[in-house]
Amino acid sequence: MTESLSVTRTRFAAGIWEGEVRGAGERRPPVEVIYAEQPVPDVSLSADESGRWRLRFVVPVEAVSEGVHTLLIRSAETGETLDSLTMLAGDPMDGDLRGEVALLRAELELLKRAFRRHVREG
């Protein structure tokens, strides 16, 4: 039985994502990077001197824009997602995040009141 693939991010700087792929042994890992349901071009996968596989790709320019953008790193054989990179940008995100935090605070207050009532009655 072969070990399943895993990906660990080692660095993300200047639009270049780098990581390590494990579980492939000596064979080239079947890894692909997908953005907007399309393969990311120029994905580099190379073995280093210790036998580890290094994965490297440039984040597509289209993914660096307003909104939420996700790149998937997955097994080309099984389609299993091994890792992902999600980027959030732009003014609309501020409102969304504030709204989510406000909702969480309201739910927390509701739980606190219910807990206090339970302790008082119990």
* Model pLDDT for residues 19-43, shown as the tens digit of each residue: 999 988 888 999 999 999 999 999 9
Q: What is the pLDDT of residue 1?
A: 37
| Residue 102 banded pLDDT, cuts 50, 70, 90 | confident
Q: What is the pLDDT of residue 93?
A: 61
Digit-coded pLDDT (tens) for 39-69: 999 999 999 888 789 999 999 999 999 888 9
Q: What is the pLDDT of residue 64?
A: 92
Digit-coded pLDDT (tens) for 65-94: 988 899 999 999 999 999 999 998 877 666
Closest CA to 16 of 71, 66, 68, 65: 71
Digit-coded pLDDT (tens) for 113-122: 899 999 999 7
Check: CB of residue 18 under 8 Å from CB of residue 25: no
Domain 1-89: top CATH class: mainly beta
Q: How far apart are CA 82 and CA 75, in angstroms?
A: 7
Q: Indicate whether this model's pTM tops 0.85.
A: no
Dihedral, CA of residue 70, residue 32, residue 18 and residue 66, to nearest 10: -20
- Any idea where the domains of the chain sit in the sequence? 1-89, 90-122
Q: What is the pLDDT of residue 94?
A: 62
